Structure 1
């Protein structure tokens, strides 16, 4: 990446903003060159400040610094530090993480639906809406958790947040695709329990990164400190003394992968679908306060309605994490069924064993999905697939199909890798039989997708 992001006095372009694209930007053109524009809306005419450019570059990137012809869907940004025009007027780029905050929520969701539909069409040849459904492609992305909260729509949903630290030891966040760290004094997307910690008032010198988890059930939050190389125990103690007494605090050694207790617990206690889950350190858990229930409901709904998840069924939960889906799957198959739960991260797999110790029908295996599927070959009624952002990939998809399940429920956080994998399933005679998408990351370009895949015919 070049240094353009650091300098506000680069070339400004006037462009017409074109269609939305995957990744949080829209496509524009300037003298035949593609420019990926952030902080615009399709149909607008804007002034763009280039953040990445070069005579030989295939495309450029830029931020909107002035709107010349606004979309009716443009709204005042809820966060000054993430507002592109305001930030550049103060001679710095905006922070990442709220790149759609200038767009009305309903339009955000329709744009995300456009991205999902385009990826499925281009990478898998799938046209939305699917046959047999009454959901229009433009309304595919569902709102989640906007009832029963005092926070404005689209705000106050994050139960987890990660922060950088400025050279002066202040809580900060990175600008998009930049090493620049900007000090922050609020996080409007986070739940009150995170903002109430007021981490921006703390001297964080010696700390490289801060991860915070505040469970939606109101249980004790955890602050995880990642010290910079050479930070002494005395400095950690000084940071610890500034944090509230009722908050658990731990440190994380990224080289050894160890979470060390400083005060309280090294984990948080989450709750979802009638089960409690221990999640250690920065172990994975869905960040939207309503995401676990929404996703479990979508997965079990697809499998139950299709007759794939009944007492006595044999199922697998791949990339299972701490067992969010494993526990309700075990409930559904009962004592006469079985669930194979596979997770690659050792610490997360240990959490899963603790979380599911009273479910004898569950077999928990720590290791790579490809290896475990080879070693644990069996006939599955259904397989749940919840891979990381990169997706499952062709090799894993082929292994799944070779295992002969009657159905695969696929949970994805990335429409591009999801669509690519759907294409692999289709090449082997499978089809996309059901699809739901959830706006679990309002004001960002991210979404979560749950799909049902079955053998064609």
Structure 2
């Protein structure tokens, strides 16, 4: 298409929700992904991105006929041209969960051929004040802020309503060198940790400004780990997921289990309790600091052995046969090679923790090719106000 629609304002009938925090509309044979709208609404939307293909992106700048589920966003920056962090502040919390459930169900049906009713469950604490880790960037004036959606533009902020109250005070109370990135973490003891990030030769390096060693609580244990390493962002998520893994993994006493993409060993600790001192738990994790933290935190569980490296490189040599596999891959999912290697171990049960429903659905289909069926699924609203959702799938 030769004529760009960028900047064009269109009157649209808003269609169903789509993966990514927007809804779908269609105009003149093209698909528009519309943010700040809800299904069934009629809006005026401005096209914000048009790369000339079959689709473009737009922001709803005026609501002509609103949904009954529309509310006033608690943050004025959750609006067209504002911060890109939140997708659904303009929807009732219960309706946000319904939208996420629809996305998970659609991805399972489209990518895995599975028709299943999905319910997204809330976590304790409500939709605000939950985010324990936030990355900020300093604008041209040195004031820390958040980036606009799909942009490097910095939106200055005074606070963030989804962040743990007070957790951004140290970063927002001073001026920084323009372009500096900052990461704040509030741990399970409500201690605050702040570091400055820099990219050197393509690698991100951090300069600790305060704190550094976090204390978290989950799975009946106290964890001491790098404050900026991997840990669930929602304060209730880690323990909720560990409890479900304990229920679904059901590893046999004396058995063999794998914990893939293990982080600091949250799920490995659960598996170790189940297999007992005569069993084996292999934890594979690519982050060396996470492995070091995991080894220290699980030093009382000698049945857990650690391997540092990429799962796809190490899984071929994992001990077999294996009874249970738990995996919590990054957003891109595990992929066919890892799925094939897991299936080759012939586990009775696979517990798959996923932060991206599309990647989960694709990998479920890969597992189906090896005879594994999705026998249970739960989804949690571990990221309220955003489009993200945490799912746990049981495959047998």
The two structures have a TM-score, normalised by structure 2, of 0.95
**Quick one: distance in 2 between partners of 1:254 and 1:327?**
36
The superposition leaves residues 46-83 of structure 1 with CA deviations (integer Å, 9 ceiling, x where unpaired) of: 010110125x3221101111000000000000100112
In the alignment, which residue of structure 1 is the partner of 2:338?
396
**Quick one: distance in 1 between partners of 2:19 and 2:201?**
30
Structure 1 position 207, deviation (Å): 5.7
In the alignment, which residue of structure 2 is the partner of 1:155?
128
Structure 1 position 261, deviation (Å): 4.7
Structure 1 position 260, deviation (Å): 4.7
In the alignment, which residue of structure 2 is the partner of 1:134?
none
In the alignment, which residue of structure 2 is the partner of 1:167?
140
**Quick one: distance in 1 between partners of 2:298 and 2:288?**
15
Secondary structure at the counterpart of residue 383 of structure 1 = strand
Structure 1 position 397, deviation (Å): 0.2
In the alignment, which residue of structure 2 is the partner of 1:191?
164
Question: What's the Cα RMSD here?
Answer: 1.9
Q: 1:83 aligns with which of 76, 79, 83?
A: 79
The superposition leaves residues 386-443 of structure 1 with CA deviations (integer Å, 9 ceiling, x where unpaired) of: 0000000001000000011111100000000000000001111110011000010111
**Quick one: distance in 1 between partners of 2:36 and 2:301?**
48
Q: How many residues align?
A: 393
In the alignment, which residue of structure 2 is the partner of 1:110?
98
In the alignment, which residue of structure 1 is the partner of 2:266?
324
**Unaligned ranges ≥5, structure 1:** 85-92, 130-136, 147-152, 230-252
The superposition leaves residues 220-264 of structure 1 with CA deviations (integer Å, 9 ceiling, x where unpaired) of: 22101114x7xxxxxxxxxxxxxxxxxxxxxxx68565555555x
Q: Quick check: 1:175–1:181 contact (8 Å CA) kept in 2?
A: yes
Correspondences of 1:407-446 after superposition (within 5 Å): 407-446=349-388
1:273 is aligned to 2:219: yes
1:254 to 1:447, Cα distance in 2 relative to 1, 3 A? farther
Correspondences of 1:257-268 after superposition (within 5 Å): 259-263=206-210, 265-268=211-214
1:385 is aligned to 2:355: no
**Unaligned ranges ≥5, structure 2:** none
Correspondences of 1:12-31 after superposition (within 5 Å): 12-31=9-28
In the alignment, which residue of structure 1 is the partner of 2:123?
144
Q: 1:303 aligns with which of 221, 246, 249?
A: 249
1:327 to 1:191, Cα distance in 2 relative to 1, 3 A? same
Correspondences of 1:64-79 after superposition (within 5 Å): 64-79=60-75
Structure 1 position 216, deviation (Å): 3.0
Q: Quick check: 2:196–2:206 contact (8 Å CA) kept in 1?
A: no
**Quick one: distance in 1 between partners of 2:79 and 2:30?**
26
Q: Quick check: 2:245–2:270 contact (8 Å CA) kept in 1?
A: no
1:223 is aligned to 2:194: yes
Secondary structure at the counterpart of residue 77 of structure 2 = helix
Q: Quick check: 1:74–1:103 contact (8 Å CA) kept in 2?
A: yes
**Quick one: distance in 2 between partners of 1:210 and 1:417?**
29
Q: Quick check: 2:31–2:55 contact (8 Å CA) kept in 1?
A: yes
In the alignment, which residue of structure 2 is the partner of 1:43?
40
The two structures have a TM-score, normalised by structure 1, of 0.82
1:57 is aligned to 2:53: yes
1:206 to 1:53, Cα distance in 2 relative to 1, 3 A? closer
Q: Quick check: 1:215–1:221 contact (8 Å CA) kept in 2?
A: yes
1:420 to 1:23, Cα distance in 2 relative to 1, 3 A? same
**Quick one: distance in 1 between partners of 2:208 and 2:65?**
54
The superposition leaves residues 74-113 of structure 1 with CA deviations (integer Å, 9 ceiling, x where unpaired) of: 00001001123xxxxxxxx111111100001111111111
1:275 to 1:163, Cα distance in 2 relative to 1, 3 A? same
Structure 1 position 128, deviation (Å): 0.5
**Quick one: distance in 1 between partners of 2:140 and 2:266?**
38
Secondary structure at the counterpart of residue 425 of structure 1 = helix
1:32 is aligned to 2:29: yes
